[in-house]
Amino acid sequence: MPSVSVHLAERSYDVIVRPGCLADAGAALEAAGLRGRAAVISDTTVAPLHAPALLATLAAAGFGPTLHLVPAGEASKSLTQAEALCEGLAAAGHDRRSFVIALGGGVPGDLAGFVAAIFYRGIPCAQIPTTIVAQVDSSVGGRTGVNLAAGKNLVGSFHQPRLVLVDPLTLRTLPDREFREGFAEVIKHAAIRDAAMLGELAGLDPAARDVPADLLARNIAIKARIVEADEHESTGTRALLNFGHTIGHGIEAAVPYGTMLHGEAIALGLRAALFLSEQHAGLDPAVTRTVLSLLERFGLPLVLPADIPTDTVLDKLARDKKFAAGAIRFVLLRAAGEALVSSAVTPADLRAAIDHLRTV
């Protein structure tokens, strides 16, 4: 089965993509060199589904696991929950010889990675993502963090995992809405780096829950290669992964966290970014139609709800970490599979793109 290596010198690690690998996690973590006790961080939705199997394999490997839960939903990505988890780990006797395992979607993944980065000034972590968003995107690359009222992911740290275990079988347990939202990130990866994947996605049955392991691995490889080129977002290459995310994050933060799923907001952000790509990067409108048809095929929203004010979205995205010294760094498409970071997008352009999202 496919696996992907992320090459970052002494911080290198593997992403294992294999159906059923959750049940063998103990042996895989041991083989990756992890030692000590394991603190599993998950949420109240994922833990009943997958924690028993994980805890059993960890116990069999001698890791003495403990389970630490947060409420399911984006609201748990907070400093309050991070503090509570650190207190919980300390109360359970964990120390600098322990390691953290994130079990769940992007929220437990980002939160657990952040806790690992700050507990005892940093302990190892591993990621076991159980949603498409987390499997192809957030579990790889080492970006961890929590949200503030001002915006998403404004507090965090780069903390690479020691191992990522991607078990496609966990996707079978996802509710329909959570399953479909993940394809926003898959479609984004295809748009920025793999034009051929756009055609392959058109042939995928949105109702099928057996997502091919090789499709997941190809998406992970796209993320891995970009992370290798720009681990700490210092050269601008990693910004390409933000295609659709500037306005998408603004929309997501404009409503109470959890009201709109991440992938749903990103779908709207992708439509806005395609609109601006036609204006500022000469994108062929046929590419826009192809991407929008895929988003629609997977049941993702393309029209911004009327009760989300444009000014609120603009205020939220202005606080986003993708702005450098107040300047807009916007990711556009020049062609399918070819993205670029542009400084040509103005505040007026952003407003026009958000207004475009209100059209059918």
**Could you give the strand order of the β-sheet that contains 3-6, starting from the edge strand earlier in sequence?**
3-6, 13-17, 163-166, 125-129, 99-104, 38-43, 66-70
CB-neighbour burial class of residue 152 (10 A; exposed 0-12, middle 13-18, buried 19+) = buried
pLDDT tens-digit readout, 3-40: 999 999 999 999 999 999 999 999 999 999 999 999 99
Q: What is the CATH number of the domain that holds 32?
A: 3.40.50.1970
Whether 2 has a pLDDT exceeding 90, the answer reads no
Whether 327 has a pLDDT exceeding 80, the answer reads no
* Mean pLDDT of the 90-112 span: 97
Question: What confidence score (pLDDT) does residue 320 get?
Answer: 67
**One domain, residues 126 and 159:** yes
Mode of pairing for the β-strands spanning 143-148 and 99-104 = unpaired
**One domain, residues 90 and 208:** no
Whether 207 has a pLDDT exceeding 90, the answer reads no
Question: What confidence score (pLDDT) does residue 319 get?
Answer: 75
Q: How far apart, in whole angstroms, are the C-alpha atoms of residue 100 and residue 39?
A: 5
Question: What confidence score (pLDDT) does residue 210 get?
Answer: 87
Question: What confidence score (pLDDT) does residue 91 get?
Answer: 98
- Encoded tokens for 187: 């479609």
**One domain, residues 147 and 215:** no
Whether 234 has a pLDDT exceeding 80, the answer reads no
- Residue 318: which domain range? 176-356
Whether 323 has a pLDDT exceeding 80, the answer reads no
**One domain, residues 253 and 143:** no
**One domain, residues 136 and 47:** yes
Q: How far apart, in whole angstroms, are the C-alpha atoms of residue 81 and residue 84?
A: 5
Q: Looking at 141, 173, 205, which one is the last position of a domain?
A: 173
pTM, 2 dp: 0.92
Whether 324 has a pLDDT exceeding 80, the answer reads no
Whether 1 has a pLDDT exceeding 80, the answer reads no
Question: What confidence score (pLDDT) does residue 219 get?
Answer: 96
* Mean pLDDT of the 275-295 span: 98
Q: How far apart, in whole angstroms, are the C-alpha atoms of residue 158 and residue 138?
A: 12
Q: Looking at 173, 199, 215, which one is the last position of a domain?
A: 173
* Mean pLDDT of the 253-263 span: 89
**One domain, residues 152 and 12:** yes
Q: How far apart, in whole angstroms, are the C-alpha atoms of residue 319 and residue 269?
A: 16
**One domain, residues 90 and 221:** no
DSSP 8-state secondary structure symbol assigned to residue 135: I
pLDDT averaged over the chain? 94
Nearest to 292 by CA among 201, 196, 193, 177: 201
**One domain, residues 105 and 216:** no
User: What percent of the chain is predicted at pLDDT more than 90?
Assistant: 88
- Encoded tokens for 124: 């190892």
Task: Please give the sequence-ordered ranges of beta strands (E in DSSP) within the chain, or none if there are none.
Answer: 3-6, 13-17, 38-43, 66-70, 99-104, 125-129, 143-148, 151-158, 163-166, 330-335, 338-342
What is 280-335 written as a DSSP string?
A: HS---HHHHHHHHHHHHHTT---S--TTS-HHHHHHHHHTSTT-BTTB--EEEEEE
For the chain, how many structural domains are there in total? 2
DSSP 8-state secondary structure symbol assigned to residue 27: H
Question: What confidence score (pLDDT) does residue 325 get?
Answer: 56
Whether 161 has a pLDDT exceeding 70, the answer reads yes
Amino acid at 225: R
Question: What confidence score (pLDDT) does residue 209 get?
Answer: 85
If you search the block for the tokens 């601008």, which residue do you land on?
Answer: 236
* Mean pLDDT of the 276-304 span: 97
**One domain, residues 90 and 214:** no
Q: What is the CATH number of the domain that holds 276?
A: 1.20.1090.10
Question: What confidence score (pLDDT) does residue 317 get?
Answer: 86
* Mean pLDDT of the 229-240 span: 86
